[in-house]
Structure 1
Amino acid sequence: MLKVLCVCGCGLGSSFAIEMSAKSVLHKLSIDADIDHTTVSEASSFKYDIILTQKIFADILNSDASEEEKKRVIILNKLTDKKELEEKILAWLGTQKK
């Protein structure tokens, strides 16, 4: 099961919007996933395979992350754009098969 974490500043608005869009995309792709949302300050306390977030929060998450952890962060330009989510999730999954 894929563990997905959606991250924003307060852990309420945009991270929840990302979560709803990600659920739809993952369902469409028939990917079994456990999806949660949280604040950028609490993200490190979660166990996850990928983080979906916007650039400003990705920069914060990556500031002290290992190279392996940085590979797990997917930066979204349009937070609820399902096409973008699908493309970026599929690209990330493609890197995991190598």
Structure 2
Amino acid sequence: MLKVLCVCGCGLGSSFAIEMTAKAVLKKLEIPAQIEHTTVSEAGAFKSDIILTSKTFADILTADASEEEAKRVIILNKLTDKEEIETKIVAFMKAQNLMVVNHE
């Protein structure tokens, strides 16, 4: 099961919006996932395969991260754009050899 973490500044508004959009995308792709949302300051306490966030918070999350940890942070330009989230999750999963079915 894919573990997805959605991150914003307060862990309420935009991270919850990302979570709702990501749930819809992963359901469409038939990818079983556990999705949570949190604050940027608490993100390190979560175990996740992918972190979805904006550029501002991605910079904070990757500042002291290893190269491997930094790869799992996906920067979203439009936080509720299903097409963008789908494209970026599929690309990440293919790059990590996690996707066995070709979703286009």
TM-score, normalised to structure 1's length? 0.99
Supply the AA of the counterpart residue of 2:24.
S
Q: For residues 97 and 2 of structure 1, what CA distance do their matches in structure 2 show?
A: 13
Supply the AA of the counterpart residue of 1:39.
T
Supply the AA of the counterpart residue of 2:66.
S
The offset of 1:10, in angstroms, is: 0.1
Q: For residues 97 and 46 of structure 1, what CA distance do their matches in structure 2 show?
A: 22
The offset of 1:2, in angstroms, is: 0.1
In structure 2, the partner of 1:82 is: 82
Unmatched segments (≥5 aa) in structure 2: 99-104
Supply the AA of the counterpart residue of 1:33.
A
Q: For residues 41 and 73 of structure 2, what CA distance do their matches in structure 1 show?
A: 15
In structure 1, the partner of 2:55 is: 55
Supply the AA of the counterpart residue of 2:31.
I
Unmatched segments (≥5 aa) in structure 1: none
Residue identity over aligned pairs, in percent, reads 74
Match of 2:52, SS? strand
Supply the AA of the counterpart residue of 2:32.
D
Aligned residues: CA RMSD: 0.9
The offset of 1:48, in angstroms, is: 0.3
TM-score, normalised to structure 2's length? 0.93
